[in-house]
Structure 1
Amino acid sequence: MDLDRRPHVRETGYAARMPLHEADVDTREYLNVCYLPGIADLSLGDEFPQLLVVFSRGFEHGRSSPAARLGLMGVQEIAEGGRGGMMDIVFGLHADAGAWPEHGGTGSAASGAPVVGPNGFVEILETARGLGAPSTPNVVRIAAFEAALEKLDGPSRFWTKSLKVDGWATARTLLRWRDELVDAGWDPAAGWTNPRLADLAAADEAGAVLPPGLADRVGALVEDLAAGPALPIRRIRLIDPRDVHPAGWRRLLDRLELCGVAVEQVPLAPAAPDGTALGRLQRWMMGGGPLDGEPDGTVTIATSASGALAAEVTGQWFAERGDREAVLIAQNADTHLLDHGLCAAGQPRAGRSRASAHRGSLQILLLAFKIAWTPFDPRALMELLAFPTSPIAPRVARRLAAALEEAPGRGSTVWRDAWAEIGEAELADAHGDPAKLKKAHAHLERWLEWVEPEPADPNAGMPLTAALAACDRTIAWAGARHAIDGDQLYAATVALASDVRVALVKLAHEVLPRTLVERIIDQALDIGQDNPAAAAEAAKWRCVPQPGSLWAPAETVVWWNFRTTQEGLQRQPWTDAERQELADKGCPVDDVRLVGRAASASWERAVLHARGNLLLVAGGLDSGDDEALHPLAHRLAPATEKLASCVRIEDALAAPTITVGGVELRREAVRVAPLPQSRPVWPAPAGYRERLEGLIHSATSFEAGLGCHLKWALKHVARLRPGRVRSIPDANQLLGNLAHALAQEIFVPGDPPSAEAAKERAGELLDYLIDQIAAPLRLPELAAQLAEARARLPAAMAELARTVVVNELTIEEAEKQVSATFENALSVRGAVDLIARDKNGQHVIIDLKWTRNDKKRREELEQGNAVQLATYGAMTAGDGPYRAGYFLLNQRQFATLVEGGLIGRAVEGARGFPATWAAVRESWRKLADRAEAGQLIACGVEGHEEHLPADLPIVLEANCKWCDYQTLCRVRGLA
């Protein structure tokens, strides 16, 4: 039954829907192949009872194996009098990367004629022999092997010290060695004399129940086929040379021949005519032709320092060729950038995507564990809350994220208030309905488990039950999300968490240290997941993810991303003595060069199969360097220097035409428009005055407006805000927040504490407050800032108390919210850090500042520009007298004006605070009049001074470096 080639049904998720060819059935029926755990059952109803498709390892925990992605690859007709059911298989070492629906051969896919790689081939044979079972992820096998190593009694082994230091890495390495030996025909009971081989034999016997890997499965098939059973396979055609297959596969092919299966080599010969440069290159590669002639465009090496430009030109190249057939080799199985170029040229996307461990929901399991370790990491929790489809409902996540941003910790007043509001809202929505109330309580309990799990010490370890609970939460959430929208990332997340859960159980540890848990998760994430948004589109040309996937001549071969690769690199750990003993006992390990030979053969095969044109494209900053090109480029260098057309794709930016791969690409010059210029005056829009009505100001907004009125108008009037996400404050802000919280706790209304009492109280409160509002300081990377907080903050509180005492002040209130309305409806609101009164009852304003350098605040006092102190004083004291100053926490200094008479670091100022407030109001009035006249001044632009109102009492310096609007006023330009 031939199946129509339908590229638009590549990997459709759980089901592939494909029409049967009209020649095979009377009516046009459809095959629905559904991948279920362990088996895919094909049912066409009573009309076709003789047809059965079984995939023994097709789908496990929501993740398809490479073989399952091949679609109809193992059809076995089993009814008496059926149509035969003898398969004709094409097998290649690299065909598992994705051969259905687009393989690197000729013709359309057909049931009974699969193109498979190692995993797919093993599954066909296991199905035919009834040996199928769910495959075991490598992370589970490593965990089981580590448990076996830890339980191994007896003398010290060669891995003993390594196992104690890093058990997981040791088990992973030893398991790989053990699998290599199994592939070579390893028998643990053969009485090995070499110490390392003897130790590995003991480990293998200790892990007798080790889940089978691919080498074990191949070995089991070799043993099963020893009796020569009949198989539903007529012929196996090998893409790769037989002698580059690993030892286990060579033995399996030998056994298949004994079972009557024909094993043939797919013929390989130069596909291009002898008279072309490509043909001469191919014959030289095969050792049968001289290097003569000149380039004729049939062999092209195109390089570009810009990957985006390479993608653009390659897309245009496909467009110019129209519907001519070609094979696109997407090295590393990634066409993300190329797809942009294809789409821009109106071409179908290739839709290949490199598997990545960093895709969306795959990170949720790791976050679930990060939140549970001590010290608490607010950044991990913020990531969980900000995730688009977070396990926490959006209405809840927003409240908790806001609380976490304000006070990064758990247990603060802000955090408790957020939970109280959430609980009240959820219960209120139930309207007293018992069923809804029960559901609301269940939701609250589940959210609390995610956000506040039982903390675990990273060194002592997390109890196994708690670790399994984290896996179970992730599985339940991802499974529910997948049921809702069918996103394959959620199915992959279910598989990931399930694999980690099984691995944790296999380890048989009562407690699990953090490093071990994270190693396991990283190992499970190693396989990654394709981008679900990378959808392939129907095209005349085919796309294969690896050069070795190409196994038949093609008119044109385009090798995208022709850059260096690690493929083919492998080291074997065996010494000469060990290799000799292995060979003597019938277990000869493969030559260390075998993997490299197999890779080299697959690369050369891609070149030899090009019939008319070969285009090699490399993009990247170093693409022109020899060491950055693919290793095959060095193998072909003697020939390509004479026969290949070398193209610098950058030439496409400066010429009306460029010839690539024998195709002339026409380019059009882009008209360049001049960039907007900066200007100091911008027109105020209509209705500007009306938008000012009801606007509430603050000391900070006054500072912003007096520094740059355009910035103030954009931020406070137009309400233009930069894009942002919730984030955790940096270390400096955390230290400032801690200082304010300490001051609020220590300086309560009444007589101030002594310096010694304040310091002692700060020491008592510090750790408690750090956990509540500055938890990031507990993290290792902020250890220096934590030490600084412990050393400086108690001393700062002591000096603040000493300042209050020596000035004979009484505390009125800390962190007091104040507001006032002045003439012309000027409304101001703010929070004063510390308000005190002197012995005459006059107000004293103390503004706490955590700053690395005290220069800015001292200059404000000297120049009469202390806007914040003047504003707070006017709001607090009104028209009455008051005094004020900055308490610089980091420097432990009280900076104030000489005229105030307060004891501290007195500064001679140009004017007092009431005069500064008057200057602020007058300057604000003049700037407002200028804006109402239609002018907003950009004070960071050169020449703005001449546009400012005359005799402006106070002018602050515009800080363009940290302004969010510097590209709008063109101070910075458009970069």
Structure 2
Amino acid sequence: MKIEFGWSLDGASWADGGPRLGPRGLVRLLQARLGLTRPEVEPAVRVAQYQRRIAAADHPWLRASFAADPWATGSTVLSWRDAAVTAGARLEPTEGAPDRIAALCAVENAGPDLAPGAADDLRELVDALADEVTWPLGVDSLLCHEDPSSLPGLWPRLLQLLEASGVTLERPGAAEQAVRPELVLVEAEDEWTAAETAARLLAGRDGAPLQLLAGADTVLLDQELHRRGLPAVGVADSAAHRTALQILPLYLSLAVAPVDVQLLAAFLDLRVLDVPEDGRDQVGLVPSRARRVLLDALAQEPGTGGTAWQQAMAALEADDELSVSGLEMVRALSALVISPLAPEDLTPARVREVTAPLGTRLRALGQGDPSLTRASTHLQVLLEVLEEFEPTRVLRERELAQIVASAGGRAGSPFARPEATSRWRTCSRSAQLLPVGGDVLWWGADRDDAATGIAWDTAEAGALTRLGARILPPARLAALDTDAGLRGLHGAERIVVVRTRRRAEEPTAPHALLAHLAAGRAAPGQGVADVLEELTFSPAETLGAEGFALAGARREVTVPAPSRIAPLPSDLTRVVAPAPHLLPARLSYSQAEDLLGCRQKWTYKNGLQIRAASVASVPTGNRMIGTLVHAVVEQLVGSGERTPSAARIREEIETQVPRLASELLLPGREVELAGLRERAVRSLLEFFDRLGAAGLVITSVESRFEEPLVLHLQRGDVTVPFIGYRDVDAEDGEGRPTVIDLKWTYAARKYPELFEAGEALQLAAYAHSLHEEGTDVGYFLLSQGEFVSANPALDPHGRPTLDIEDLWSRGTAGMTEALDEIGAGRVDARSGQILLDAGQDLATPRSDAAKTYASARAAARAQGSLVVDARCDYCEFSLLCGMRGDVS
């Protein structure tokens, strides 16, 4: 067998007319011939083993670093050790060695065994051949691209031993040295234009042979090839952030207290398998039936272990349609987040225990699916790493994250799927090009700043040389790759480079090999940059009167008529076929607000049931805090305390935070939680004290009501239930009722202005549900600790009494009008239209928009109607109505 060997040929295809091997490929072949193969040990497992050696050696040069960051230290020092062994050093303690070399020697001869890696494979192979093994190698000749004496480390010795074993070493002859190729450079401003140009070149060729050198991923190029009926190249880098490698770290992030409820929602929503053929939902680690139930629970209570979560779990336990595997996963997840591990309990034994259900679920779902097989492997490697540690050793959270990242490695891209083609041969490194002449299309010829290996200083290099190493200067080592790349490029007759000046929003620079190619074309006194500039032209220059032409490729091109982005519509009203069936099954205040503020919003959200994903409904920010403080008030009142103390309020807040605002317990949010707690304590003390001083006694909180509401529509009367919850009901000494609505907001003027303008429709709805004359109503602003009320005992600002009947009458009239218009097929976006009519949009400062709405409210009030600000700037439907984005 004749083998072609090159320093940069690892990864080359065997289908190129014979075995073309790089260093790792040749070692594996010789291992197989000599019976030296063995199962590979994962790099993360070797790091764990090497950590034990470092601990056993306890070398003073490593001690402080190892104590501060054991995993990073172990990983770094192991890479030094492997580099030294590859260079040929036998790490034995020697007098006077530099600190780093002395530390490596001490660790090498201390403690437990270390599984062999690639460096040890090379050493073992050299030792085996040096023992004059007569086992037939099956290799007749080795065509070496490089002079063996120019190679680093043990490679000259290995090639010398192969020659002594009867393998003929050959070098490329003079006839095989190629001439200088023609060079054509096309530089685009963006990746899309570059992809279009390269695809036109490939589609416009007459079938002449071509090699495609993919120096960057071809995802965009593949899309353009598919548009032209050509197969995809399918080159895409592997990465550590693929979905398969996110499953384990996301799961483990939930295992350690405190639990991030947003990450819990992300895990519940994580889909791992697509099953579009039967119309079912995507398959997740958590079954879809359970996913929706648990996400709805988090939307009610953004924490774990609370009432909503327990009720959701009870419902799932009674669900006979859940699979056994799915239910077990749900149970394990619930137990995990309700009782997460404390940091001091994070041991290898506990990690193995909490990840066991995940492994079972992955195996149940996997059944050969590559992505889940990769996730299962990730977990298995982690467990193998943990086997190297003492079961009771406490792992730091950062260390566990490092181990998980190392255990995962990199996963392939779903776009790395080349399609069968005989049109061109593809490779990813210029050294892998075949010297067959013809054209080479170099896609993405950007500068590659890859590391060139471990750097040793002069003293360290001398010490390693005395230990048997062969250390090349960094420049000579880099030259090996450069020479190999140029050798491959010089085997072509013409090189067409298509690259982009920016990639992933970052500027790029031409590949260093282009400078070498240009240097041979420079006239006296001319710089390389000038030569490259002369050879470079833009994609626009490839288009002429007869279409596209580049490097012998031609293709007809049709230029479409220019299009313009449509301006923002002046009228947001949609006119469609009548829709009398769009009626609410029941109404709440939030629905009423949508009907009055934006009929399109109600139609999309309630009439057509278009909703945001459940994972997006998990509360955060003001909404989460408001829910928390509401619950605190409910619990304080329920316990019968009329004037709770500051200590009692603080205690109740601490109790409710894990259930309703668990994200405030995350590291780094201690100041935020402390500030919130003290603000809420002061506010609630004021709330209870002011109520007591006014002679009001709270009778109930979160009181549900459901009242029939008759709407006199044009198509006939319709009765719908109007439902809701009153935050706080109270009575004075004479039994007169008061309704207080609690609000957590930093917009201190919003609710006072609504109250004073007589447009606090929510208060009118709550008062109307009591059916008692003389009902007093008001807001309590939890963040500010202030009442907004006409009762001077609660609010000394002298605000006018809210006309509840008039306001409720205007509100029901507005709802009736809105449903009539929707039924007739005329659906407007009233809040957005108010802005547009005033020459404003979503970019208008909020203070200016507020003045516009205030004027609109005053005009509507004079006509006996209502205007509600639907907050278009926060609306999730603003793309559909045309207020946001490109509506063309």
Both proteins in one fold, TM over 0.5: yes
1:885-900 equivalences in 2 (<5 Å): 885-897=778-790, 900=791
How far apart in 2 are the matches of 1:829 and 1:269? 90
**Of 693, 701, 709, which residue of structure 1 is paired with 2:599?**
709
Cα displacement string for residues 861-887 of structure 1 (whole angstroms, at most 9, x for unaligned residues): 121111111112112x22532111111
1:462 is the counterpart of 2:349 = no
Q: In the alignment, which residue of structure 2 is the partner of 1:960? A: 872
Greater shift in the superposed pair: 460-469 or 222-231: 460-469
User: What is the deviation of 1:136?
Assistant: 1.3
How far apart in 2 are the matches of 1:598 and 1:100? 22
Q: In the alignment, which residue of structure 2 is the partner of 1:481? A: 365
Q: In the alignment, which residue of structure 2 is the partner of 1:663? A: 553
Cα displacement string for residues 643-677 of structure 1 (whole angstroms, at most 9, x for unaligned residues): 86312225679987444334344432223456376
1:598 is the counterpart of 2:473 = no
Cα displacement string for residues 393-440 of structure 1 (whole angstroms, at most 9, x for unaligned residues): 3322332222223222221011111111111224xx69xxxxxxxx95
Q: In the alignment, which residue of structure 2 is the partner of 1:881? A: 774
User: What is the deviation of 1:222?
Assistant: 0.2
Q: In the alignment, which residue of structure 1 is the partner of 2:109? A: 205
How far apart in 1 are the matches of 2:65 and 2:236? 37
How far apart in 2 are the matches of 1:208 and 1:903? 75
Q: In the alignment, which residue of structure 2 is the partner of 1:189? A: 92
**3-state SS of the aligned residue for 1:194?**
coil
**Of 685, 692, 698, which residue of structure 2 is paired with 1:811?**
698
User: What is the deviation of 1:973?
Assistant: 4.6
**Of 453, 457, 460, which residue of structure 2 is paired with 1:578?**
460
Greater shift in the superposed pair: 780-789 or 674-683: 674-683
How far apart in 2 are the matches of 1:669 and 1:948? 52
1:128-167 equivalences in 2 (<5 Å): 128-153=33-58, 156-167=59-70
1:813-962 equivalences in 2 (<5 Å): 813-824=700-711, 825-875=719-769, 877-878=770-771, 880-897=773-790, 900-906=791-797, 908-909=799-800, 911-931=802-822, 935-939=826-830, 940-941=832-833, 942-943=836-837, 951-962=863-874
How far apart in 2 are the matches of 1:257 and 1:267? 19
User: What is the deviation of 1:449?
Assistant: 2.5
> Does structure 2 conserve the Cα–Cα contact (< 8 Å) formed by 1:303 and 1:623?
no
**3-state SS of the aligned residue for 2:878?**
coil
Q: In the alignment, which residue of structure 2 is the partner of 1:587? A: 469
1:74-113 equivalences in 2 (<5 Å): 87-97=1-11, 99-101=13-15, 105=16, 107=17, 113=18
**Of 629, 632, 637, which residue of structure 2 is paired with 1:739?**
629
**3-state SS of the aligned residue for 1:589?**
coil
Cα displacement string for residues 147-186 of structure 1 (whole angstroms, at most 9, x for unaligned residues): 1111225xx5211111111111111111111111111222
Query: What residue identity is the alignment partner of 1:556?
Result: D
1:372-451 equivalences in 2 (<5 Å): 372-389=255-272, 390-426=284-320, 440=324, 444-451=327-334
**Structure 2 gaps, min length 5:** 273-283, 522-527, 712-718, 839-855
**3-state SS of the aligned residue for 1:256?**
helix
Q: Which has the higher contact order (CA 8 A, sep 6+)?
A: 2
User: What is the deviation of 1:513?
Assistant: 1.8
Q: In the alignment, which residue of structure 2 is the partner of 1:557? A: 440
1:969 is the counterpart of 2:881 = yes
Q: 1:700 to 1:537 in 2, by over 3 A?
A: same
> Does structure 2 conserve the Cα–Cα contact (< 8 Å) formed by 1:458 and 1:514?
no
Q: 1:787 to 1:872 in 2, by over 3 A?
A: same
> Does structure 2 conserve the Cα–Cα contact (< 8 Å) formed by 1:94 and 1:548?
yes
Query: What residue identity is the alignment partner of 2:442?
Result: W
How far apart in 2 are the matches of 1:857 and 1:268? 88
**Structure 1 gaps, min length 5:** 1-86, 108-112, 273-278, 283-297, 431-438
How far apart in 1 are the matches of 2:618 and 2:432? 47
Q: 1:689 to 1:453 in 2, by over 3 A?
A: closer
**Of 64, 68, 82, which residue of structure 2 is paired with 1:179?**
82
How far apart in 2 are the matches of 1:565 and 1:409? 46
User: What is the deviation of 1:317?
Assistant: 1.3
Greater shift in the superposed pair: 186-195 or 772-781: 186-195
Q: 1:771 to 1:239 in 2, by over 3 A?
A: farther
User: What is the deviation of 1:593?
Assistant: 2.3
User: What is the deviation of 1:470?
Assistant: 4.3
Cα displacement string for residues 5-33 of structure 1 (whole angstroms, at most 9, x for unaligned residues): xxxxxxxxxxxxxxxxxxxxxxxxxxxxx
Cα displacement string for residues 261-319 of structure 1 (whole angstroms, at most 9, x for unaligned residues): 122234587877xxxxxx5x45xxxxxxxxxxxxxxx4221112211221122112111
Greater shift in the superposed pair: 454-463 or 319-328: 454-463
**Of 161, 168, 182, which residue of structure 1 is paired with 2:71?**
168
User: What is the deviation of 1:225?
Assistant: 0.4
Q: 1:867 to 1:620 in 2, by over 3 A?
A: farther
**3-state SS of the aligned residue for 2:60?**
coil
User: What is the deviation of 1:712?
Assistant: 2.8
How far apart in 2 are the matches of 1:338 and 1:586? 49
Query: What residue identity is the alignment partner of 2:865?
Result: P
Q: In the alignment, which residue of structure 2 is the partner of 1:628? A: 509
**Of 492, 508, 529, which residue of structure 2 is paired with 1:610?**
492
How far apart in 2 are the matches of 1:478 and 1:720? 32
Cα displacement string for residues 439-483 of structure 1 (whole angstroms, at most 9, x for unaligned residues): 95x864553224423856565351221222345444443334332
Query: What residue identity is the alignment partner of 2:694?
Result: N
**3-state SS of the aligned residue for 1:960?**
coil
User: What is the deviation of 1:722?
Assistant: 4.8
How far apart in 1 are the matches of 2:657 and 2:823? 48
Cα displacement string for residues 540-570 of structure 1 (whole angstroms, at most 9, x for unaligned residues): 2011122222243341111111112122544
Q: 1:784 to 1:244 in 2, by over 3 A?
A: farther
Q: In the alignment, which residue of structure 2 is the partner of 1:59? A: none
User: What is the deviation of 1:809?
Assistant: 1.6
**3-state SS of the aligned residue for 2:450?**
coil
How far apart in 1 are the matches of 2:762 and 2:579? 26
RMSD (Å) for aligned C-alpha atoms: 3.1
> Does structure 1 conserve the Cα–Cα contact (< 8 Å) formed by 2:305 and 2:659?
yes
> Does structure 1 conserve the Cα–Cα contact (< 8 Å) formed by 2:12 and 2:20?
no
**3-state SS of the aligned residue for 1:132?**
coil
> Does structure 2 conserve the Cα–Cα contact (< 8 Å) formed by 1:381 and 1:451?
no
1:300 is the counterpart of 2:184 = yes
Q: 1:625 to 1:339 in 2, by over 3 A?
A: closer
1:680 is the counterpart of 2:571 = yes
How far apart in 2 are the matches of 1:566 and 1:349? 27
How far apart in 2 are the matches of 1:904 and 1:401? 40
Query: What residue identity is the alignment partner of 2:231?
Result: P
Query: What residue identity is the alignment partner of 1:491?
Result: T
> Does structure 2 conserve the Cα–Cα contact (< 8 Å) formed by 1:699 and 1:871?
yes
> Does structure 1 conserve the Cα–Cα contact (< 8 Å) formed by 2:582 and 2:607?
yes
How far apart in 2 are the matches of 1:672 and 1:724? 40
Query: What residue identity is the alignment partner of 2:759?
Result: N
How far apart in 2 are the matches of 1:404 and 1:242? 65
Q: 1:480 to 1:344 in 2, by over 3 A?
A: same
Tell me the percent identity. 25
Q: 1:648 to 1:532 in 2, by over 3 A?
A: closer
Cα displacement string for residues 680-710 of structure 1 (whole angstroms, at most 9, x for unaligned residues): 3635433423322x53222122222222333
Query: What residue identity is the alignment partner of 1:579?
Result: A
User: What is the deviation of 1:782?
Assistant: 3.1
> Does structure 2 conserve the Cα–Cα contact (< 8 Å) formed by 1:400 and 1:415?
yes
How far apart in 1 are the matches of 2:504 and 2:782? 54
**3-state SS of the aligned residue for 1:618?**
strand
Greater shift in the superposed pair: 864-873 or 673-682: 673-682
Query: What residue identity is the alignment partner of 1:868?
Result: Q
- TM-score normalised by structure 1 residue count: 0.80
Cα displacement string for residues 500-554 of structure 1 (whole angstroms, at most 9, x for unaligned residues): 2112222336222211111111112233334376343323201112222224334
Q: In the alignment, which residue of structure 1 is the partner of 2:118? A: 214
User: What is the deviation of 1:207?
Assistant: 4.8
> Does structure 2 conserve the Cα–Cα contact (< 8 Å) formed by 1:656 and 1:668?
no
User: What is the deviation of 1:910?
Assistant: 8.4
